[in-house]
Amino acid sequence: MIINFLKKFISIKSVTPNDRGCQFLLKNFLKRIGFEFFIFKKNLVTHSIFLYFKKRNKFFDYSFLGHTDVVSENIKSNWIFNPFKASFFKGYIYGRGTSDMKLSISSFIYSFKYLRKKKNFIFIFSSNEEGDSKNGSLLISKLLKKKNFFIKNMIVGEPTSEKNIFDTLKNGRRGSLNVKIKVLGKQGHTAYPEKSKNAIHIFCKKFSKLKYFKKNFDFQISKIICKNRTINIIPGILFFYLNVRYYNIFSLYIFFYKINYIFNIKNVSIISNSKPYFKKSFILIKKIKKILLNYNIISKCFKYLGGTSDGKYFVDISKNIVEMGFKNKTSHKYNEKVSIKDFFKSVLIYNDIMI
């Protein structure tokens, strides 16, 4: 049964923010095992909340947070198999979204099917985690907060593992800031460089100064735009997009101080900012690590590592938040895959956590 479910789930081309029926597939599965559900859509984004009550109140012992959207497959010919068809080959399941995070979702709900249901559970899904997150999980968190719901333990199914399944847990994330920066020069003819100022040369010289400040934050250029229509013009203006990963508000202030010093803050536009979050989650982490030892898995925990996740939206209504999922080695890459052995092991582990 679960294999058929996986085939259907992965075959849905749910490129962010389009869910394309993924959450209705989850509804059909969870409804049969006693869940109440609420599915709604805002713009192109689909959200769903699945509730299982042992005692009808606003307190939930366990929650699973996931997203049904995936990133694009990009160039289809670079895939060994069809990215939107579950392919089983040499002990792995191939397909877009296998590691991030359709198999985590499948594992968790399948583990729940065989659980002795003595607690309250809430499962939360959105279809805009991989995109700009607008109208995404933030809307659900606001709705739950308005209803005074509270979650004791939240599991987020992001792909956190490195070498072995669940060898890495996360109880927080760095912040992610995206900025657009303008670099001004003076346009001219390539034959008369002394009469102009090349914006590209200015950019290279100034950007090299930023490398001395990497101790406080990490950054990557994601796009450079220089609109020259002909090849004999020295560009007078350049735009570049920078993604900055920062650890706290203090390090963000340091970044803006350096940007102002090098590029002038007037030329900097903020596109988006995802703030860092951190939850101690000591009791839940201790329980998970103890369970993992039964499977000969030694796990470490990091409060700041990797990209962002929707866990940040539930900090105020959750006592504990731990992110744990499959290996991230092939996430967002061609030929994304998950070990079949790891998948069935994760079903047992998730089940043990919820007991």
Residues noted as catalytic = 69, 129
Radius of gyration of the chain (CA): 23
Work out the number of other CB atoms within 10 angstroms of the CB of residue 71.
16
- Residue 90: what residue type? K
List, in order, residues 6 or more apart from 22 with CB less than 8 Å away. Answer: 9, 12, 14, 46, 68, 102, 125, 127
Cβ atoms 321, 281 nearer than 8 A = yes
Distance CA 325, CA 323 (A): 7
Distance CA 25, CA 19 (A): 10
Distance CA 51, CA 312 (A): 21
